[in-house]
Structure 1
């Protein structure tokens, strides 16, 4: 995106490093555009996020910072900060790490807002205390940083839902390239970057795919290169089932999901993408909780067993059995999809 020209406030948002969090950050961007008419918003974020940012109407400029995960990247941050000096009036830092606040500080942005954390006293000059009981969802924490401190502290503000734009030309190209669209489509997202305690068993996805195909649906398995093998487990030997994992880009996933009737998904980044394109979301929760990271849509159904050991928020099951996911039967998801399809 080209650098925007504006007569309003110039705001730099330091974005998060996860797909789902980046989608949720759009709720903040919507709030800023509403509260500050005429403002321009630039988002500083990893390069992979550019396709998602390009689908947000509120983003006037996307600024890439390609520093590897876990790498400090002092030189890259300092060089970028120098190029940004004098361009912004206000910076909002969403991550709570020390290094995430470094670029706005070095760029000498006059007002720098973020939550207290990791010794950021010198880097932020408007530090907010994070009350996790009041701001109990990630998206609320993001939005609160764009509000006056008193209003944010009350926690009773409106959270606008994300809405990603769709490229119909790209969608038509993708459907022709992959032979999609002969039947109504259901998306499946078996991946969960955080860890296996969030992942519904592949054999459950496979059984559900068989049931859906028998019922006249097309199944699109979606994810990144790490999910290719999982996709093959689900679609192998099935007609009307397509493993698109690793074969499409993030922007393609936006368009392909928008074309689906429903999505069956773990608590993952693509779950938030599906919610943001407006389709029906069948969201599966195991070690995590929909209380903290729900799909931000009114068109979702949550599937969780609410076992006494869940949510544990661990990457792997501390008890070694993952009953919170294994005992969630494919038939339950099939019934939920059919109920929606018939309404």
Structure 2
């Protein structure tokens, strides 16, 4: 197989018959139960933008999401009216959270996940009309269950996740997506930030690198190759390199700048809040990331970037922005969707070189 350079593309949006809820069906608005992963949350945003245009005047868009990911929605005040922060997104809401949800008086609930449990508690929250994908034997709880093809290993799968979310929104009367992205208003108080965060946010010519991937080791491009890209940026572009990751991947991510010294290297692996992470990615001139939440977040914030794909599916989970490039060398076993490479070779990623990524960075910067 040979290396492919793919532009992000949602492909065709599945089409379902449109059934617009009546004004009174909405009550005071719609409650959206988001996915639990940052990248998946970002992929729901085009659908939420279109829902905003379909929801009647004076009705709100409310979201229930994991507490740790709530800052994404707090930075979208024009899109989301209320955020219910779930302390433990893998359990039923607490009594206080259920009271908060019921007080919203939402007439419609949309599940942008496949959870049976979430469909059950939304029903218990007295939301009359529930919509979502047909999954995990929950269809009997839903007013309307949408059927999508089952994922297959070793082939590229359509539709894209964002296309699935859009199709459900459009079935409720939302207009087609025009490709625009939401406007983020990210709070930033320099006096409250660390020196390193201020430097990352306020410097020019920043390369953000995100060597981690919460899903598993199989998705991680070699750290040594991240390091080669960082060294090239420092030497050729004379810019700054900022390393970003979750706390539990900080040691691995920091290895991307091991041996690279100087005040142009800013190691923030595991040291930022989500709000700070968004601000840094918004400022970055370029980003290199695995298929991860950081990749999706950078893209929706309007950044440019390059992502090596291997065991996951660029047809289903590529970024939602055309400012990114996907590098993919299809192997017979890929995409396998495994957290750890079954044979240990990771050949789907090792065949992508640092020079491949550097070449794409140069093209994006010149384009």
Deviations 1:206-239 (A, max 9, x none): 1111111111121111111012102321123322
Q: TM-score, normalised by structure 2?
A: 0.82
What is the CA distance between 1:32 and its match in structure 2? 0.6
C-alpha spacing 1:331/1:27, structure 2 compared with 1 (3 Å)? same
What residue in structure 2 maps to residue 184 of structure 1? 205
> Which whole-Å deviations, capped at 9, do the CAs of 1:109-138 have from their partners, x for residues lacking one?
111111222222442222222245896111
TM-score, structure 1 as length reference: 0.87
**Mapped partners of 2:187, 2:87: distance in 1:** 29
In 1, the alpha carbon distance for the partners of 2:307 and 2:148 equals 27
Offset of 1:142 from its aligned partner? 1.5
| SS class of match (2:314) | coil
- Aligned position for 2:177: 158
Where relative contact order (Cα < 8 A, 6+ residues apart) is larger, the structure is 2
Residue number among 244, 247, 258 corresponding to 1:222 in the alignment: 244
Contact 2:212 2:220 in 1 (8 A): yes
Q: 1:1-343 counterparts in 2 under 5 A?
A: 9-38=28-57, 39-56=59-76, 57-67=78-88, 69=90, 72-73=91-92, 76-77=93-94, 80-85=97-102, 87-131=105-149, 136-148=159-171, 157-158=176-177, 160-167=179-186, 169-170=188-189, 174=193, 176-178=195-197, 179-180=199-200, 181-215=202-236, 216-238=238-260, 239=262, 240-343=264-367
Aligned length: 329
> Residue deviations 1:224-267, cap 9 Å, x none?
10121023211233222111111111111111011111100100
Distance 1:159 1:98, change over 3 A: farther
Aligned-partner Cα distance in 2 for 1:120–1:17: 18
Shift in alpha-carbon separation, 1:143–1:326, aligned structure 2, 3 A: same
C-alpha contact 2:34 2:111 (8 A) present in aligned 1: yes
When residues 173 and 282 of structure 1 are mapped into structure 2, their CA distance, relative to the original with a 3 A threshold, is: farther
Question: Any idea what the Cα deviations from partners look like across 1:147-190, whole Å, max 9, x if unmatched?
Answer: 227x89xxx95364543514374478658444345551111011
| Structure 2 unaligned spans of 5+ | 1-25, 152-156
Equivalent residues of 1:208, 1:333 under 8 A apart: yes
Check 1:135–1:282 CA distance in 2 against 1; reply closer, same or farther (3 A cut).
Answer: closer
Over 3 Å counting, the alpha-carbon distance change for 1:322 and 1:112 in structure 2 is same
CA shift, 1:332, in A, is 1.4
Does structure 1 retain, via aligned residues, the 8 Å contact 2:36–2:89?
no
Cα distance in structure 2, aligned partners of 1:225 and 1:159: 36
CA contact (8 A) 1:78 1:103 kept: no
Please, what is the CA RMSD of the aligned residues?
Answer: 2.6
In 1, Cα distance between equivalents of 2:194 and 2:281: 12
**Alpha-carbon distance change, 274 to 171 in structure 1, aligned in 2, over 3 angstroms:** farther
Task: Return the alpha-carbon distance in structure 1 between the equivalents of residues 363 and 181 of structure 2.
Answer: 26
The 8 Å contact of residues 170 and 255 in structure 1, kept in 2 or not, is answered as no
Change in Cα spacing, 1:182 to 1:84, as seen in structure 2 (3 Å) is closer
1:3 maps to none
Q: Is the deviation greater in 96-105 or in 84-93?
A: 84-93
Indicate conservation of the 8 Å contact 2:208/2:243, yes or no. yes
1:145 counterpart SS class: helix
Provide Cα deviations, 1:264-323, integer angstroms capped at 9, x if missing partner. 010001111000111111111010121000100011111111222221111111221001
Equivalent-residue separation in structure 1 for 2:169 and 2:80 (angstroms): 15
Task: State how far apart, in whole Å, the 2-side matches of 1:17 and 1:167 are.
Answer: 21
